[in-house]
Amino acid sequence: MDWIQPADRLKQLPPYLFMEIDRLKVEVQAKGVDIIDLGVGDPDLPTPAHILNRLNQAALDPKNHRYPSYSGMNDFRKVVASWYQRRFNVTLDPEKEVVTLIGSKEGIAHFPLAFLNPGDLALVSSPGYPVYHIGTLFAGGQSYFLPLLKENRFLPDLSQIPKEVAGRGKILFLNYPNNPTAAVADRVFFEQVVRFARENQVIVAHDAAYSEIAYDGIRPMSFLEIPGAKEVGIEFHSLSKTYNMTGWRIGFAVGNPLLIAGLSRIKSNIDSGAAQAIQWAGIDALEGPQDCLTELNAIYQKRRDLMVAGLKKIGLRLEAPKATFYLWVEVPKGYTSTRTTAHLLEQTGIVTTPGNGFGDPGEGYFRISLTVPEDRLEEAVVRLSKAGF
């Protein structure tokens, strides 16, 4: 069967980071090791009860058993627009400036198909969510990576992009609060982004999936709060992390109506929309009581404080994140990112993620996810103290 060969686009792809981690984890588990998985950012806490109740009601209604609208239910898109108005003071037209997604990953992956021709250039922040680069590759585009460095607060230095590269760029992918570094962008940075986009005629695609997971009174802002941002950009959002709904696959994109229309056209030819029952549950998530989010952030903050103190006591270097549920930890002296994570898995049964798996600038770091119960984090600190670094 050697005549069956994958397409060239598949040959270009690196192994998907988290699939490789799962493979290694299974190997170690097969040896009888008790695994503590601090790798993938998948919330361990249940979806709030009022959201589940709405899903149950909606699932019993035969009207929700049929094909949904490609762009999403009008009711859901109106609620998204209302939420943006309350949360960010951003006004959106629900018909033209909002589209429902089957999770933000789907929308991000499909977006380059609408706006990149083969050979076009995307400016991709790195280390970053692998889908920005993968979506670019699937569209036949090329990625120019913008390093996120500690000395720049893990923000890309747009002034260092060569003029000829900036002039060729068609899409600029950004993500704040950031995965994996947990950095938070401020108004000054986003104002620079809008100026850069206008001067170079670049579309800004901002992934804001972690905007609601934040600590110490921090309220991360939307890119669209900046005057002129809607003229140049689109913002992707998800209910996955905010409301513990990763398996539900529901999100949305908002912004420039031309960008929303382009993405919607791609989606209408590829998928048949998000299930209506899940959209009704999403309505309750956005419009219902938000005390569940306050409680969730308090839990994550307690976990963050526990792990940051424990890791520092061991001698590892990191900063307490202001947002997301990730810790971006410097590797011990004499270790690489990959060697660190392999050592931790083999010697302690702890799964972490190598920083270079998110891009070359991530070398020298590894990522820890806070999505396991507190008692398991306490056990992880004990094991880490015996890792023999």
Of 209, 146, 138, 104, nearest to 359 by C-alpha is: 146
102-138: pLDDT as tens digits: 999 999 999 999 999 999 999 999 999 999 999 999 9
Give pLDDT, residue 10.
85
- Rounded to 5 degrees, what are φ and ψ at 42? -120, 105
Give pLDDT, residue 17.
65
Q: What's at 16, amino acid-wise?
A: Y
Find the DSSP H helices in the chain. Answer: 8-12, 17-29, 49-59, 74-88, 104-115, 131-138, 163-168, 187-200, 229-232, 257-270, 276-287, 291-314, 337-348, 374-385
Of 231, 181, 172, nearest to 207 by C-alpha is: 172
Give pLDDT, residue 16.
64
Q: Spell out, as residue ranges, where the chain has pLDDT lower than 50.
A: none
Residues 335, 352: Cα–Cα separation, whole Å = 14
Q: Domains of the chain (ranges plus CATH)?
A: 9-46+291-385 (3.90.1150.10), 49-287 (3.40.640.10)
Give pLDDT, residue 2.
83
Which residues make Cβ contacts (< 8 Å) with residue 144, sequence separation at least 6? 121, 122, 123, 124, 161, 165, 169
Q: What's at 103, amino acid-wise?
A: G
